[in-house]
Chain A
Amino acid sequence: MYYVEEYNGFTIYETKEFKLEHPSFMLLGLPDTGLVASISSSYLVDALKMEEVGGIDSYRYFPPIAVIHNGESKMPIRIFHRKNLLVIISELPISPGAIHPLAFMLVDYAQKKGVTHIVSPIGLGVPHRMEVEKPAIYGLSTSKDGSELLSKFGVKKFQEGFIVGPYAVILKEAKRRKVSNIVIFAEAFIDFPDPAAAVEVLTILTKIFNVEVNLKPLIEKAEEIRLKTRELMMNTKKVMERMRKGYEQQLPLMYVF
């Protein structure tokens, strides 16, 4: 074990030594609307054959679960690395009580690792998703460099609205600590997994990370992925209801003037 840190109910482990090249990115794959973050980050880890270098666990906030992959016990949140990229994927939705300590820990960890940009892909639940052939993408960043990256790749600015959940806390905490957080929103189904939205997010992410990834298998396997992620979506939906995710369908006060 190379690095272990307790952080307000969570423990972060690094099981392998790794060197993060710069400029670096930390992509977050926490289950949220349409499982956009989970699908896109898992696909990227698989496509880039990223190395698992650690994980995050909590005896306070997670149920007593051990995740088994390829005959090995894994942590509920896993950390992957390749060159200048770190990807953090959670197998479980983050319960409302865990959001703040986990968000603070992730921003803190990014600072300690010298990460240039934290990247949050978010599903933007739209009721008319079935009429949308190609989900629209929006973005924002807490830094000038992050905003420049988004405009360089033609991402429209997310102007007004609410964000609810772990990505909201990470965004506010990153801004407070002057850490760059790039947030990418993709229109998505509110209650169902949405691999098509993940494809749109990955189209932008691969440009930002400057990596080549074939997205065709993801498009072809979209229905199979939707079928196999139903239980994670069901649990995520339950969590989202508890954290008043419905706010995202509302307009902030500023927007009415």
Chain B
Amino acid sequence: MSSRRIRDMLREFEREIEETIEEILDNIMGTYEAKPLWSKDGTLEPLVSVVEKEDKYVITIDLPLANLETLSITGKYNYIELRCKLKQSVKLSDWPMSRTEFREYRKTITLPNDADVAKFEIRKHVEYSIIEIIVPKKKT
């Protein structure tokens, strides 16, 4: 076997190993989000789901333990900003990293440019502490 052929085989072998390592790392690290959903300023980030429909965007936000009477939502440019106080302050655990007492949900949701954020509608599902924000698409 020529030395060139051996070099090619080694390169090919090296490439296969790199691909396998990348695949493994993607399977592990690509899956786990390190970002916490809380901040030391006492705010929590709620879980949000955005679904695009033909003529609107439906944003569903989970706000457990929130006082929905304090809900404030503003639409500007292409984003929606939400703030809502908790019924009472909450500590996540005695874990040293999270000794903070949380008092409020805060979240900024960025939408595509065709979202007409000035014309949103809010539906409150008080029994579940879940809200829906319906944002129509701009008429072209």
Contacts and interface: CB of A to CB of B under 8 A. Distances in A.
The 8 closest A-B pairs by CB, nearest first: A97-B27, A226-B64, A223-B64, A95-B31, A191-B49, A192-B62, A227-B64, A223-B65
Contact of A130 (B32, B33, B44, B128): B128
Given A191-B60, A223-B129, A227-B64, A233 B47 contact: yes
Contacts of B23: 97
B64 A190 contact: no
Given A63-B28, A192-B130, A226 B33 contact: no
A134 interface: no
Given A227-B90, A235-B33, A95 B28 contact: yes
Interface of A: 60-63, 92-93, 95-98, 130, 189-193, 222-224, 226-228, 230-231, 233-235, 237-239, 242
Given A61-B28, A95-B30, A223-B64, 7 more contacts: A62-B28, A97-B24, A130-B130, A189-B62, A228-B92, A231-B36, A234-B33
Contacts of A193: 62
Contacts of A233: 47
20 contacts: A61-B27, A61-B28, A62-B28, A63-B28, A95-B27, A96-B27, A96-B31, A190-B49, A192-B49, A192-B62, A223-B65, A223-B129, A230-B37, A230-B45, A233-B47, A234-B37, A235-B31, A235-B32, A235-B33, A238-B31
A97 to B, nearest CB: 3
A236 to B, nearest CB: 10
A170 B46 CA distance: 32
B125 interface: yes
B29 interface: yes
Interface string B56-87: 00001010110000000000000000000000
Interface in B1-51: 23-24, 27-33, 36-37, 44-47, 49
Given A92-B32, A192-B130, A235-B32, A227 B44 contact: yes
A228 B65 CA distance: 11
B17 to A, nearest CB: 15
A231 B32 CA distance: 10
Contacts of B93: 228
Contacts of B36: 231
Contact of B29 (A63, A222, A230, A242): A63
